[in-house]
Amino acid sequence: MHSAALCDTLPYVTDSENARRLGTRIRDRRDFLGLTAAELGDRVGLAAGSIYAIERGRAPRRQSRVRLDRELYWSPGSCDTVLAGGEPDVLPEPSPRAVELSPGERLILDEMHRLSVEEQRSMQRSFLALIRSRLDDEHL
């Protein structure tokens, strides 16, 4: 459900209440994943003090919300959903063999998360077409 539609279906709460709810969800998820505030902060590009401030109810900026979604294994837009009064959508945790991403790869993923769903689908179609073309070239 889109955040605006979600807001229309939930009881009224102030932004600061939802920011505190988000902070609680982030702290609970961080604890569940066994991360310290410093470790989560390193992963999202924030100081541990900033993580603590968010957990106490300071709403994170858009870029930080995107990174928090990723590092907490929430689907894209989950922080925004909590700020709108909903709950985060938890994704499966990666397997232990998951590789660390380079800063460039993380930047690409961050930018992809900012795209609309239709833009993401279009990008996926283009990428698959490129891969198919390369595979066809290799088999000639």
Q: How does pLDDT run along the chain (140 residues), one tens digit per residue?
A: 444 444 444 444 457 899 999 999 999 999 988 889 999 999 999 999 999 999 999 999 999 999 999 999 999 999 999 999 999 999 887 655 556 777 888 788 778 777 787 888 888 888 888 888 888 777 66
Least Cα distance to 63 among 91, 44, 81 occurs for 44
Tell me: do 4 and 62 sit in the same domain.
Answer: yes
Is-contact 23 65, C-beta < 8 A? no
CA–CA dist 79, 67 (Å, integer): 10
Tell me: do 27 and 62 sit in the same domain.
Answer: yes
Tell me: do 7 and 75 sit in the same domain.
Answer: yes
Tell me: do 81 and 131 sit in the same domain.
Answer: no
Is-contact 73 92, C-beta < 8 A? yes
Tell me: do 77 and 105 sit in the same domain.
Answer: no
CA–CA dist 16, 11 (Å, integer): 14
3-state secondary structure of 134: helix
Tell me: do 112 and 60 sit in the same domain.
Answer: no
Q: How many domains does the chain fold into?
A: 2
Nearest 5°: the CA angle 72, 107, 105 is 90
CATH code, domain carrying 71: 1.10.260.40
Domain of 8?
1-92
Tell me: do 55 and 8 sit in the same domain.
Answer: yes
